[in-house]
Structure 1
Amino acid sequence: MASIIPRHPFPTENAEEGLAVLQQNAQEMIDGLEAGSTSLGDALGTTLTLAEAHCLMDPRAAIFPTWDAWVTAMQVGSAVFAAATATEEHVLCRIAHKDRTLQATGQEWYVHPGAWITAFYLAVVCREKDRITALSRVPVSLLRENGSRFEEYDYAWMETLQTYWLGGQDLVPKLVSAVDGTDPESVADPETVGKLVYPPMEMFHRFIRKDHEGFNRALIRALELHKQYWSEEERAVNISGLVALAPLAMTCLAHDAGIPIEVESEYLPAVLISRNWCGEFPT
């Protein structure tokens, strides 16, 4: 019998109007990419927010507009790193049903481990194998050039995911390094790290060990901690809490590997896990 983790209360008044405004903002940003009036970093934040917002009223991601929004966010996430690593002056990226010619960017303020991990998760959820492979070949050294302050566990987790996808060596030591880096005694924000960053690492550990029961226990714990984090008063109406993106990505990996998923939650859009929409249109 499946365990059920309900989502924390979230206001739904004016949800459709809010979604329409987000949709317009996202489209304007996407249309501004070729002209250079929009940064890919800003576009990623807005399109991801739109995708998550769709899941307020469509928590299963059962309707086409929700899937379309998730694909668009995934395409923008991949475009961030396609443009950052491009060797030519321009790079062609498909975003929102259109091939767009974007300026190569090299290192920018938004080319950092947080954006890479988000892009990787989105590509996993959308089952975009070629994009996952491209992301897995992004040099960690490029992201270290960013002036932003990121913890070592961010880079170690990135390396872990890249190594797993490309079948490289030292997967377990890299995962151990990432996990060790989340020690509450050594991080600036132990609450965020403990409730949002470490849990998907534990899920991944159970996944690579093919520990079905352990994976589901880790998934339940990840969702419980996600709910705790986003139920705090100052965060409770933040759209970012509607979907547990990192646990969702780990669950998609496990589902595709044949691990039975014995947990149901509005934090985990069921149709994204079962990949029913994949192949619906060219991406």
Structure 2
Amino acid sequence: MKLLRIGAPGEEIPAVLGEDGRVFALSELTGDIDGAFLASGGTDRVREALAAGRLPELDPAGLRIGAPVARPGKVVCVGLNYRDHAEETGAPVPSRPVVFMKDPATVVGPYDQVLIPRDSVKTDWEVELAVVIGRQARYLADPAEAAGHIAGFAISNDVSEREFQLEFSGQWDLGKSCETFNPLGPWLVTPDEVGDPQALGLRLAVNGELCQNGDTKNMIFEVSYLVHYLSQYMVLNPGDVINTGTPAGVALGLPGTPYLRAGDTVELSIDGLGSQRQTFVNA
């Protein structure tokens, strides 16, 4: 099942994409797709209502698609989680997950413009598999428990400003939390439809040129392990987002490759999760 939110920023309508491509409004079931909806079994209610034909059809033509989850409490990111990406950046392959936080306010729609920060010279791209938490995860005993705490998956662009990230501070936050730096969506796809999260191809192109072409099977730390690991150090709440890392092919790791400039377009896709497209403009 594919959940989405349609409408202008702050005015999104929760919806579901049917198997036949039609879109149905969820307004009778919930005010939004958020942590409270996910924690209360919202996806099961949607599935039942959709199967029973109780949902009104919605015409999405010409309407903006927002991030599929409203107001995530936190965005937790895992760095250097693909061996080829660690190697291309000259970083050692980590023995434990590299964890950092990203301002949740960076989350925008999958087709929204992304703002290049003022004085930026190294704005970079990162296609990532995002995990959305559906049930609170706290001190999970084993990675096998993780599946029961995942609401679904989405495409994430973990946009990064490398000078801010690596040269201006001992931590990565400055280069990760600039406004609009986390396009998410277009859909939140439930685990039953995704299947094995470690068997998904990821791709990203800049101005039509393929830069990243990876596969989640090459993650150093798999999704289930990451959810388990993070739950030992923080409480993961419904609606929280985990960005699970990016494969090789970012500008940082490709000498001579230009960083993003105003007018550039970035297109991302992950098997079964749809696609994104952003145009970058100056802030």
What TM-score comes out, normalization by structure 2 length? 0.25
The normalised TM-score by structure 1 is 0.25
Q: Identify, as 1 or 2, the structure richer in helix.
A: 1
